[in-house]
């Protein structure tokens, strides 16, 4: 479908837009209130709440971050402020090990860990009747997978996903290319630090010998992600956890936005068929969770608000 994001000439570069949106944009921290909830396997998840008013309102948006992200990421802060400004409460949840404290158990999180998203949704649903989801990158993959898994039984009412590697294998291969080395190094460094911490607490299960030689997601996922989470190898993990084949099973209004110049995505991440409930929007520019503007809202924030206006009527004004 047509898109309205038309950046200035200097931002018509996927790498620059990615960097500007994620590293150079300055957004003040929301006034978060942290809540810790338990998971069924004895672990915990931290949810950072930001309310639009003095007390909880009728609607809440659950935000799911990208790989190694947290509620403190610029794009989460920006979206939180935008949503609060429109009257929506926000529940920005942090993946296991991403809230500033190591998680308790051996496992971490991964691109297919929809069980944790489901735990968050179930908890939020005890507090709110009207829920929407917004996911970024890995969080977008979780969002789409969850909605495909639950189908018509979804308790959320609408959803948006930005910059989503719906084909995990294709995205992993793209990020392994020389021109994407700066992203890969950052991801592997952050993930390796988590594995070193895990190895100290679970030495019988994890070895970090030679971890400094890992240079790609294939190597990391083969050695750690797959065996720690019940997959045969990286290929098995990628094939089972990508959201590409979840789209046709989604039964709530959903917007999927992937930019053509996103340096993380391959052509396979731009599906031609998405099912009747999913709108695919493909801006020519935007980078990876970029969509940068010098002032005001990022285009992604503006687009999210517009989609919510279209698909999520205010329950307090409905007749």
pLDDT in tens, 147-175: 999 999 999 999 999 999 999 999 999 99
The torsion region of residue 230 among left (phi > 0), alpha (psi -120 to 50) and beta comes to left
Quote the pLDDT of residue 1.
54
Assigned CATH class of 9-167+244-311: alpha beta
Is 70 exceeded by the pLDDT of residue 65?
Answer: yes
Does 318 score more than 90 pLDDT?
Answer: no
User: Can you give the pLDDT at residue 2?
Assistant: 61
pLDDT at 175: 97
* pLDDT greater than 70 at residue 231: yes
Residue 301's pLDDT band, with cuts at 50, 70 and 90, is very high
Would you state the structure tokens that stand for residue 100, as one six-digit string?
A: 């500033």
Distance CA 300, CA 308 (A): 12
CA angle, 237 then 155 then 76, to 5° = 65
Helices (H), the chain: 14-19, 74-85, 114-125, 138-150, 168-175, 181-201, 217-220, 226-228, 234-241, 299-311
pLDDT at 319 over 60: no
Count of CB atoms within 10 A of residue 160's CB?
27
How much is the mean pLDDT over the chain?
A: 95
175-204 pLDDT per residue, tens = 999 999 999 999 999 999 999 999 999 999
Q: Which of 83-92, 225-234, 291-300 has the lowest mean pLDDT?
A: 291-300
Do 154 and 252 meet the contact criterion of CB atoms below 8 Å apart? yes
Separation in Å, CA 175 to CA 67, 170, 258: 13, 9, 16
Q: Where in the chain is the domain with CATH 3.40.50.1820?
A: 9-167+244-311
Q: Over range 204-216, report the average pLDDT.
A: 97
For the cut 90, the answer to whether the pLDDT of residue 8 exceeds it is no
Residue 95 scores a pLDDT above 90: yes
């Amino acid at each position: 479908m047509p898109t309205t994001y038309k950046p200035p000439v200097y931002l018509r570069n996927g790498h620059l837009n990615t960097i500007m949106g994620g590293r150079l944009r300055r957004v003040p921290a929301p006034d978060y209130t942290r809540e810790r909830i338990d998971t069924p396997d004895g672990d915990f998840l931290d949810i950072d709440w930001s309310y639009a008013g003095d007390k909880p309102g009728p609607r809440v948006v659950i935000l799911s971050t990208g790989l190694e992200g947290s509620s403190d990421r610029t794009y989460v802060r920006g979206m939180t402020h935008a949503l609060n400004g429109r009257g929506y409460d926000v529940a920005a949840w942090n993946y296991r090990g991403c809230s500033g404290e190591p998680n308790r158990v051996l496992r971490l999180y991964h691109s297919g860990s929809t069980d944790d998203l489901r735990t968050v949704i179930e908890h939020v649903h005890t507090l709110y009747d009207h829920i929407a989801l917004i996911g970024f990158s890995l969080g977008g993959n979780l969002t789409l997978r969850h909605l495909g898994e639950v189908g018509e039984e979804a308790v959320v009412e609408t959803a948006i996903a930005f910059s989503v590697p719906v084909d995990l294998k294709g995205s992993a291969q793209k990020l392994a290319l020389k021109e994407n080395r700066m992203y890969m190094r950052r991801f592997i460094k952050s993930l390796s630090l988590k594995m070193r911490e895990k190895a100290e607490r679970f030495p019988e299960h994890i070895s970090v010998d030679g971890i400094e030689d890992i240079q790609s997601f294939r190597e990391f996922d083969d050695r750690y992600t797959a065996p720690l989470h019940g997959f045969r190898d990286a290929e098995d993990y990628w094939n089972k956890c990508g959201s590409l084949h979840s789209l046709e099973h989604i039964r709530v209004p959903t917007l999927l936005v992937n930019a053509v110049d996103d340096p993380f995505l391959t052509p396979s991440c731009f599906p031609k068929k998405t099912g009747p409930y999913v709108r695919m929007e493909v801006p020519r520019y935007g980078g990876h969770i970029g969509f940068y503007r010098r002032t005001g809202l990022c285009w992604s924030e503006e687009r999210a608000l517009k989609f919510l206006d279209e698909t999520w009527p205010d329950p307090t004004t409905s007749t």
